[in-house]
Structure 1
Amino acid sequence: MERLENHGIRPVEAPRLPRHKIIDVVEHRSGIRLQPLRAWPAAGRTDATLAVWEHWAELPALLRRVPGPYRRHPLYSMVCWAAEDLRSGDERTVTRVRRVIEASDLIFYLSGNQEEIFLAHGARPEQLVEVTFGVPTAFFTGDVGASRDVDVLAVGVDRGRDYKTLLAAAGTDLLIDVLTVPERLRALTLPQNVRPLGVLRPDRYRDLLQRTKVVVVPTHDFAYPTGQTVALNAAAAGCAVVVSRTDAMSEYFSPDDTASMPGVGEVDELREALVGLLHDPERRLALASRGQAHVRAHHTSDLMWDQIGHAIRAHLAAR
């Protein structure tokens, strides 16, 4: 948010909505987050609303239908999962996403392959702003040539992870540490060479990346670039990255140039990629070096928020 201030945009954050059983019940039954209700007074003193992730845009989208501050000024929605929800969600989910699309003046999204999905569900071309997702490379940093004692690390908690394929590729000899929540692995049988580590604080996670040779991000083929945060963080920290070759992720990395990219669900390709990098240090270091340079040049959080800031200023000026 501090980056937006460079563009003359001063973010105002609403007070947190206190937790209450009634609030929990309403959110559970409606699927809509009520936090924006606390922003109602602040919204009357601002020029626009910026919802970072679509679940925070759903209530402002509804409130644009009634008199009040949300109707008077623009709604800008930064979305992640929306295109996949439109493609494969149930009727209720699709309705909620389409409501956000209809109500938003600008929709910031994270990979170009999603544009056709949005247009097919009523979005207007002038609403759509593709932005290049970025990570805080000043925090996630590391020396590519440093001594590293962790062979393979898998990271991720979202629904896009394909840990079933990873376990099949691990066999009985690849030592793989996994950072995720327990429920992501609950239905799977872990061999002794795959060790669950739970989740870590950001600083401990960064320190672990700096000790890791290869970070693997196996994913399903979703419309959005699932796994991009982990893959970019890992590359920035000097790890060699193995990530599934989806349409969305192919906009972030180039196969065998900035990452190794086996096919989605391809067990043999995934195992070959991991074994090959572990057994060929020269190739691994070269891949890690190119990946790190790529992320530092094209995928920083500063660049992402600069793009969003420019778009917001241009839209407000045009009004």
Structure 2
Amino acid sequence: MLRIHNLAKVEYSIIKLCTFVHLCASLAVYFLPQGIIDTIFLPLLGNNFTSNYSWRVISSNNPGLTTQPGVNAFYLALFVFVCITEFFEGGKKKLLYIALLFVSMLMILTTAKRSALILTVIVPILFYTKFLKGRTVQTMKKLSTTKIVCGFVFIALCFIYYVSTHPEFLMNLMEKEETLSSARDISNGRYDLWSIAYQGFLSSPLYGIGLKQIYNQTGYDVHNTYIQIIAETGIMGFSVFAFSLACLYKQSVYNVKKYIRTCTDSKDIKAISLGFMIFLFLIIYGFVGNTFIDYLPFMLFSISVFMINLKRY
């Protein structure tokens, strides 16, 4: 671990800024005319422009400024965590971050990515009920019950009105669910990949079939980190991986409990809170995605570990 003073706070600020940019790009894709977006995105994306254009124009899924909607949903989910952290640990802009959180959730809907939408709800609930229950109650007490109820009612009415006047908003998500249900594969092809990985594991359970062999066979990673690792590295490799992850989790939980209990710096608390939510998000995401396979989630996982362990006990 690098011992650089305040680096975790800098990482928090970078994540906050970059994910906000992705929210703005998602809003631009959804609301601005196609010609304007093409003019802006072409020089920014270069060779990746074709993939972006195909998703947002032909498939009508919102990739924002990325090459696919799944990556965009990933960034938007991180910004949801930022908004939640700012709401509970920030200053006087709580209502602003609640509004940004609401908009971010709506933009995740436009990507038609179910896992990101579900995890943005589950992860903060798990984190704040386990580690920050007392602080959460104190924050909510500062807001009058009337303001909270009025705020949620207002947001709900805005959502209902917008969806009723823009039925295409949920169309992609509903069409995807109908297509997957009719094909009897709600996993969107993951069952087949998991089956291939399982057969690979059976062929060599102790040492596995070799790294990236499933990708070489199918052109896809397994979209389940844990199944892929045990299939490609066997029981021997998976045991080392699982032990290392368990140690990281244990140390991280210990640090969060100790640090939040004694810390008085709200910026440090925001950094460690966001870090742990990203950490938890990526561990759970590993059951339907490639957390420790793809470079982007693995890089963010490494950053989250540093943010959690900004001070060691």
TM-score (norm 2): 0.27
Looking at secondary structure, tell me which structure has more strand per residue.
1
